[in-house]
Chains A and B, each alone.
Chain A
Amino acid sequence: MLKLIGVRRGLPHEVGLGLLTLLLLALVTIAFPRFLVIDNLKSLVDDTALLIMLAVGEMFVLLTRGVDLSVAANAALTGMVVALFNAHYPGAGILPVLVIAIVMGAALGLFNGLLVWKVRIPSIVVTLGTLSVYRGCVYLVSGGAWVNSGQMSPFFLSFVRFPILGISVLSWIGLLVAVLAWLFLRYTVSGRNLYAAGNNPNAAGYAGIDVGRMQCLAFVLSGAIAGLAGYLWVARFAVAYTDVASGFELQVIAACVIGGVSITGGVGGVVGVVIGGLFLGIIKNALPVVGISPFFQMAVSGFVITVAVILNAGSYRKNHGRKILERAEASS
């Protein structure tokens, strides 16, 4: 269907996906007008902002032909650390919390990146390992205990909820991350080099781009965003525990794939990822409104993801880049 709407007429993937998302929104609203009330939309945007942020970070890594499975574990660990920091130093204010979240997330990302760049381990192996390690570290630093809203200071919790122009700070941060990522990819040399490194590593190497360094940069960016998202997640749900965002990395990758980011590297953009995230977010938030049992939600979103990747598969066939785990003729 995406092909019918978008690709065949020479329109970018984003347009087709955007129309499909609007169609989805319209269908849900026609059937259940109460879906489109302001409160519901606010919570939809808040939920989706976290998914979109993480997906934008994941996109950097996917663009360089890597994959980061550790984003959710990174967010859980960073979220737990800032929650503990807040519980011990309640008077420190919001700035140290944000700095710790971003720096620590970036450091965890850097660890992934260095293993990929310097030790030359495939990214899927590295992040499969750090996924378990980071998640286990959440348990180590917290001792298995929960940090509840009672232990968090008011500014820690209210910062993400503070409304500016009717929209929460959380959503503004999500928007800011997306805009900065768009500007970075479009107007900076490093951003263009990320595409080059993923699209054709050999050619990029001849053009003087250090492909490994670009991969490392992508992991650091993904980690920093995941760290920030970790604080926002913990503050939004007002609780930190070991299983925060468990398994969320797969939804993040799904949002990227639906948004047209090629798993083979070098193809994709922020706009597509944002729409992909909104698409998944609308489905997730519409199901309870439509009255589908919570136990059916996973099956429905799984079905939608599967159908979406089949529809998107057309772009993989045309794309002559390398498939993950599969080598094309030219790239060895």
Chain B
Amino acid sequence: MIHYLSVSGLVQAAVLQNCRISDLVLEQQAQQLEQTPDQVYDAMAQSLAVMRQAVVDGIYPDLRSTSGLTGGAAFKMKCAVDDGKNICGRMFGSAMVKALAVSELNAAMGKIVAAPTAGSCGIIPAAVLTMQEEHHLSEDTAVRALFTASAIGMVIAQNASISGAEGGCQAECGSASAMAAAAVTEMAGGTPQQVSNACAIALKNILGLVCDPVAGLVEIPCIKRNAMGTANAFVAAELALAGIESAIPADEVIVAMKRIGDMLPVSLKETADGGLADTPTAKKLQEQVFGKRE
């Protein structure tokens, strides 16, 4: 039986049984939820379908958030990719489009899958769906990758946090990016150890990122940080798949994240009192949405 107390535990169990991390997670979750593996699998497949639809729904030129502050970025990005104007190639551009689309749809009160949160909901769909499309992988590979991502997310939630209010943005977009890196690495045929390295590298790169949303809304800078988290997931997966190891093991990175989160002042944990939220422009935008405050 596997637990979600450490990434190393997951890796060891998968190596021992010579299988993917997702195989173990699917089997264990079916037992835990008292359902058949098919039922659990189908529920996850349904979530993937919602993610795919969110990408479609999020790419509109006149999509606007409830506050009116954001929207339309995914469409602009898509135009650039379609015109061959983006500088990092089609796959990278396509991943950016998806991350922006899902995040902007979230801000516009559209239907999304929290992964692990609403604020970071664009990263995993963008990474997994882009990987699937560009490398012509099966639906099964993509659905299973979400189980691996979830397992990493559960370890992070148990040992640190996946909430911006508790741990800053590193806990939301950082966790999502680490989960996405793990998923993409498994999709590419990486070993469980490489999955762990990808998770560690992704999370290390986002350590310390604060949660400083303008006007307290899940829009600025959250939407663009979803694009960043997606890019970072591919950075980490590329390195891990090339055999590059993380000097600091994933579990220690997670503990480091927890400690950093604890040390962050409250003003940088979703309260909209510090960081970008405290800039003159942010205050102007806040006034624009909510009117003047004392």
> Are A and B part of the same complex?
no
> Could you tell me which A residues sit within 8 Å of B by CB distance?
none
